[in-house]
Structure 1
Amino acid sequence: MTTTVTTYQRTEYPRPQFQRQSWINLNGSWKFAFDDQNIGEKGLWFEKSSFTTEIQVPFTYETKASGIGEQKFHPYIWYQRTFEIPKDEIGKKTILRFQASDYITKVWVNGIYIGDHTGGYAAFSFDISHAIDHTKENEIVVKVEDSQSCYQPRGKQRWREENFGCWYVQNTGIWQTVWLEFLNQESIEKIKISPNIDTNSVVFDYKLNGDMPKDSKLETTILFAGKKIKQFSIMPDRLNFSFEVNIASDLFEWKIMHWAPQHPNLYDVQFRLYVGSELVDEVDSYFGMRKISIKDGQVLLNNVPIYQRLLLDQGYWTDTMLTPPSDGAMIEDIEKTIEMGFNGVRKHQKIEDERFLYWCDKKGLLVWSEMAATYEFSDEAVKNFTKEWLEIMQQHYNHPSIITWVPFNESWGIPNVLVDKKQQKFTEAIYHLSKTIDTERPVIVNDGWEHTVSDIIALHDYEELGEVFYERYKDKDRILNNEITHNHHKYAFAKGYAYQGQPVMLTEYGGIAFNEGKGWGYGNQVKSEDEFLHRYESITQAIKNTPYICGFCYTQITDVQQEVNGLLTENRVPKVALEKIKEINLK
């Protein structure tokens, strides 16, 4: 009997929000080795690597797609591959980029130590120009160190040898695309794009690299559906500067085109950097004209209240786990979410692939971006969390689909936040720090219960019966004044904090297990589609009938390993008719 092994390839440009044409994809076959005794650095493996195992990057060794499929935890692993510099790129700076690698990543090129990065979810890069030999093949060697520490942001990755509860197989090493880009001495490092629909304007915060001779010029061209809306040029006299431009156009009846789920309009924008008459860098990007605000206990999108129908999405696949297997796989999840009548997802305990966010931008799916949690509180955990959270916010800021930041969930990493002043101050610090990066999007602290400062009060409750839920929640004041626990075991607010009129949402509920008695979910497992739909409608309608609740998030889109409370199986097969879920959601 022949076993068919699916080969997955990630060949797409990994960062559509900041896209260049001059790049080389380094995904594919690499040499690989385990180093459980941590002898590789002392043994100079970065100089004389002779790894005999192969791995398919960007899939971690724990996955089937990697070609290894070893789920035992290994704290030290090594990668190696070679590459050549194309003739057209000789003389330029060579930048090695990692979209994500978990957790401490060290890099050598041709035996020369390049640098390291700590964090499992943020992108990072190195200038490796000084180590390159343009006359021959060059060698990259990567060491990744991981741990089972609860002081590092883990998300849903287990820290024991076996899965337990709702924690799954760990994710070690390179798990998103690795690539090379080639830059001239003067280049565009990043651009922060801030739309303002109230003034029909956009603010561009530019960051450039290089000496910027006096005859340098940065040209920005804004287009919609291929038609030029605005073009302007700046003669940069420094590397960091801002520019605000009004983009109102007579091409549109309402002057600008808003971004929203029902019409996800995107403006294209081209950035071209010249030194004299020479084009030295060119970047393609896009943005959406949309506004998130809060007023009178409601979340507003483009100044109009929006009822959010969210679906919890953990972003796991059978053969590739945390790494999306393809663009098509991400699109399938987004389209099925929309097909079921949801208008958004809460990306749970994972910072998702930027191409997923790109497709949410394109297709009009709202996203709550939630940080992967630590699970113990300490100075080290505070340092690890804060550093990576800031990196992630800055990297994903430009995506119009992201409408909410969620740094904390269910007191994970801040287990005594109910009464511990130190942990409470940490959440306040992260809230205000987040607001310095992004003044507009709501920040939730802490999703589920025991909120401190928070723009939305997000409650979790897995009550099975709609009538029981409605009876408990109809008394808004008792729940939001901490007179009763909203879900039988947790209060809405930490001690010393009070309700300030924020919007209230039910951001985890349901979790109905439906898998012929195997695996687990929340409450009693159902045995038929009819039984599932009856329970789903009962609890969903009770939430919608509660007047002060302005949105919900159902748990969850797919099964994940031992957890079988998905609307779809882990292989994306619907358990119930999708149109029936949509009918209940939109009722």
Structure 2
Amino acid sequence: MSTVAIPASAVAPDVPLASRQDGRYPRPQMLRSRWSDLSGTWSFRHDDADTGAESGWTTGLPDPREITVPFPPESTASGIGDPGFHPVVWYARTIGAAELEQAGHGSDRPRLLLHFGAVDHRAQVWIDGRFVGEHEGGHTPFSFDVTALLRDAADRPAGHVLVVRAEDDPLDVTQPRGKQDWHEEAHAIWYRRTTGIWQPVWLEAVPTTAISTLRWTPAGPTAVDLTVRFRGRVPAGARLRVALRFDERDEDLGTTDFDATASRPTLDVTVPLARQRNGQAEDELTWSPEHPRLVDAVLTLVDDAGRVLDVVSSYLGMRSVGVGGGHFLLNRQPYPVRSVLDQAFWPESHLAAPHPLAHRQEVELIKALGFNAARIHQKIEDPRFLHWADRLGLLVWGEAPAAYEFSPTAVRLLTAEWTAAVERDASHPSIVTWVPFNESWGIQHVVSDPAQQAYARALVDLTRALDPSRPVIGNDGWEQQDTDIVTIHDYEGDGHVLARTYADAAARTRALDGVAPSGHPQFVGGAVDRGQPVMLTEFGGVRHQSGGRREEGWGYTTAVDGDDWVRRIAALHDAVRASDFLAGSCWTQLTDTMQETNGLLNADRSPKVPIEQIRRAVTGE
């Protein structure tokens, strides 16, 4: 290993700094300079009788409608806008020479990868009627090497026909579905469904030997652990050069050279940050919501003659998270978490953001309202949202979408999808906590069923095995066994009552001893309070509809007008701040969402009262 002080830009001048990208690239922590966005107009068909495959739809769709990808067909943004039960849907579009050129296809990048950000729930893919592959899991990405099927696109004026079949049974409660309703009409706290393609589809050309995935884990203030997986055979003598740059200071942090042939096919290394520093200077590089400093990285794979085989741009955040002394710890210091529950649902596009900029706008709104964290609820969020959380400084709680049945199938599906999600998102500094279960959804009998208790413990431990660097919440809200943070859901509407409930050490004992405010036991399976931090991770939920509207909708309590609503928000947040032991909180919720009208913002993200009033109520400042 050697360390050489050369600029990152000198290693790969054509690769932009990943921390300064515009937010459109679907995989923001592994950026290549060329890619082809396949979003836009596709052909579309419902297949309620599930006869499309035997009718030959794998080569193209007869009498199709047009749909705008990546918006789900239930949404108006898709151009379809049909929220009914349609368990099977088909998509098709043509890929031609223009897409290959835009993807960077050429002699130096001969392999073609077809990427899908997310397709809910099962997907099968064909090109020109030839089966490409399939994937199961509605929130996680997948890709296929389609080189053999697309390499002759220049000789096919009509192009190649890409066909996708998506299956999403609305009645199948073994699927990790989150807040997607299994009733035809949205009811209670569940919303319209998101079927099929709902995150970007893109084409990318890569070298024969290429960087496939990477993962960053800060290893103290002066180094970062890096895991790299490669696609294709790594030739003897190949080296991986990792160049780090702190753009905020226009400062190169050095380039480290590693023997890549030791990978076969995974390389695990520790990258030093080559700079002189004392304790004070270490803080100048640390990531936090107040100072979201990012370190850019350029990874260059070269052969034994120094020829470049592959180049990708990435970024990382130098920060640590943990628990101790009853506190949530950020960078080894107690950090009060002031979070908001974000359903990340848009009325016009459902789980899909209406446009890439919407991710940035969501983060900016959350911070403008006075929060330093967001709990993305029952959804594995688009990585582009996480990019803006990284860049603008917002803590994120990563949460699994629940299945609603306990069965071997449900266990298999959630375990596989959650594993893929943790592996995909573990490099984002903004994610500080993992939440595999919420309110015993999918483990409804965890109080008494040893099998469900074993499942809950196992998924928590699996999460720790996949990522030991973050706290894991065992079952958010109640009925917890092994959890790094004890979390409580309490929708008491009176601030004075809430203040008494969480006032001091004696109140802590009462809150954790026995039955939670929900009526469920706080601990199950013999678990007891071990002195973990305690957070009120759902509270508030005060209904108010702006503009004098009195439409159908609900909240946990109801304000009489805007002034009363603001007073209630302030009183409940004052109660949390007055507590001697609460380490954090999460307000329900960011936006009105369909029939739920307890958001701080309207469904279109406009504030119900001037945003400064909400911020003062939330922060007390």
Instruction: Return the TM-score normalized by structure 2.
Output: 0.90
- For the 8 Å contact 1:313–1:348, the answer to whether it is kept is yes
1:254: which partner in 2?
A: 281
Q: Which among 241, 244, 247 is matched to residue 267 of structure 2?
A: 241
104-113 or 214-223, larger mean C-alpha shift = 214-223
Deviation of residue 427 (structure 1)? Answer: 0.8
- The CA deviation string for residues 373-399 of structure 1, in whole angstroms up to 9 with x for no partner, is 001100100000000000000000100
In the aligned structure 1, how far is the partner of 2:557 from the partner of 2:442? 29
- Of 506, 510, 525, 1:478 maps to 510
* Counterpart pick for 1:211 among 221, 233, 241: 233
Q: Which residue of 2 is the match for residue 89 of structure 1?
A: 105
Deviations 1:345-369 (A, max 9, x none): 0000111111110000000011001
Q: How far off its partner does 1:473 sit?
A: 3.5
Whole-Å Cα distance in 2 between the matches of residues 407 and 333 of structure 1? 23
Q: For 2:462 and 2:442, locate their aligned partners in 1 and report how far apart those are by CA, in whole Å.
A: 18
| Structure 1 counterpart of 2:12 | none
Whether 2:559 is the aligned partner of 1:526: answer yes
Equivalent pair of 2:94/2:162 in contact (CA under 8 Å): yes
Q: Report how far residue 139 of structure 1 moved.
A: 1.1
Alignment length, in residue pairs? 575
> Does the residue aligned with 2:216 lie in a helix, a strand or coil?
strand
Q: Residue 18 of structure 2 corresponds to which residue in structure 1?
A: none
| Deviations, residues 40-83 of structure 1 (Å, cap 9, x unaligned) | 11112112433421000000111111111111120111000011
Tell me which amino acid in the other structure corresponds to 1:36: D
Could you say what secondary structure the match of 2:57 adopts?
coil
Q: Does residue 38 of the first structure (1) align with residue 68 of the second (2)?
A: no
CA distance in 2, matches of 1:521, 1:196: 46
2:147 paired with 1:118: no
Query: Residues 419-462 of structure 1, C-alpha deviation per residue, up to 9 Å, x if partnerless?
Result: 21111110110111111111111110100111111000111011
Counterpart amino acid of 1:106? Q
Could you tell me which of 379, 392, 404 is aligned with 1:363?
392
Once the 2 structures are TM-superposed, how far is the Cα of residue 520 of structure 1 from its aligned partner? Answer: 3.0
Partner-residue secondary structure (3-state), 1:300: strand
Verify: 1:503 aligned to 2:533, yes or no.
yes
Q: Tell me what 1:3 maps to.
A: none
Q: Distance in 1 between matches of 2:375 and 2:554?
A: 18
- Pairwise CA distance, 1:511: 0.6
Q: Is the 8 A contact 1:196 1:290 kept in 2?
A: no
Is 2:127 aligned against 1:109? yes
Q: What whole-Å deviation, never above 9, does each CA across 1:127-165 have from its counterpart, x for those lacking one?
A: 111222332111100000111211000000000111100
Equivalent position of 1:383 in the other structure: 412
AA of the residue aligned to 2:441: W
Q: Among 185, 190, 211, which residue is 1:162 paired with?
A: 185
CA separation in 2, counterparts of 1:357 and 1:310?
15
Task: Tell me, yes or no, if structure 1 residue 274 matches structure 2 residue 302.
Answer: yes
Asked if 1 retains the 8 angstrom alpha-carbon contact of 2:399 and 2:436, the reply is yes
Deviates more, 1:378-387 or 1:222-231: 222-231
Name the Cα RMSD after superposition: 1.6
Shift in Å, 1:486: 2.8
Structure 1 unaligned runs (5+)? 1-9
Structure 1 segments, 4+ long, off by >6 Å, are none
What displacement does 1:194 show?
0.7
The structure 2 residue matched to 1:572, chosen from 605, 608, 617, is 605
Match of 2:432, SS state, is strand
Question: Is the CA contact (8 Å cut-off) linking 1:223 and 1:267 kept in structure 2?
Answer: yes
Contact 2:555/2:597 (<8 A) preserved: no
Q: Which amino acid aligns with 2:534?
A: V
In structure 2, relative to structure 1, the CA distance for the partners of 1:529 and 1:258 (3 Å cut) is: same
| Pairing 1:555–2:588 present | yes
| Residue identity opposite 1:197 in structure 2 | G
Q: Which residue of 2 aligns with 1:5?
A: none
Shift of 1:411: 0.5
| 3-state SS of 2:542 partner | coil
Quote the Cα distance in structure 2 between the aligned partners of 1:260 and 1:62: 38
Structure-2 residue corresponding to 1:65? 77
Cα deviation for residue 319 of structure 1 reads: 1.1
Structure-to-structure mapping, 1:343-492, within 5 angstroms = 343-474=372-503, 475-482=507-514, 485-492=515-522
Q: Percent identity?
A: 38
After TM superposition, give the deviation of residue 248 of structure 1 in Å. 4.9
Q: 2:331 aligns with which of 289, 302, 310?
A: 302
Task: Supply the distance in 1 between the matched residues of 2:27 and 2:363 (Cα, whole angstroms).
Answer: 18
C-alpha deviation, 1:548, in angstroms: 1.0
Q: Which amino acid aligns with 1:130?
A: A
* 2:473 counterpart SS class: coil
251, 255, 258: which one pairs with 1:227?
Answer: 251
Match 1:52 to one of 42, 46, 64? 64
Separation (CA, whole Å) in 2 of partners of 1:409 and 1:508 = 11
Check the 8 A contact 1:511/1:521 in 2, yes or no: no
Question: What is the CA-CA distance between 1:96 and the residue it aligns to?
Answer: 0.5
Q: 1:138 aligns with which of 149, 160, 172?
A: 160
**Shift in Å, 1:11:** 9.1
Seen in structure 2, the aligned counterparts of structure 1 residues 222 and 33 have a Cα distance that, compared at 3 Å, is same
After superposition, the C-alpha distances for 1:505-559 in whole angstroms (9 at most, x for unaligned) are: 0000111110233233333321311110121122221122121111110011111
Structure 2 contact 193–350 (Cα < 8 Å) conserved: no
- Paired AA for residue 478 in structure 1: R
- d(CA) in 1 for partners of 2:176, 2:356: 26
1:405 match: secondary structure: strand
Counterpart Cα distance in 2 of 1:89 and 1:298 = 51
Q: Distance in 1 between matches of 2:161 and 2:406?
A: 40
Equivalent residue letter for 1:272:
T
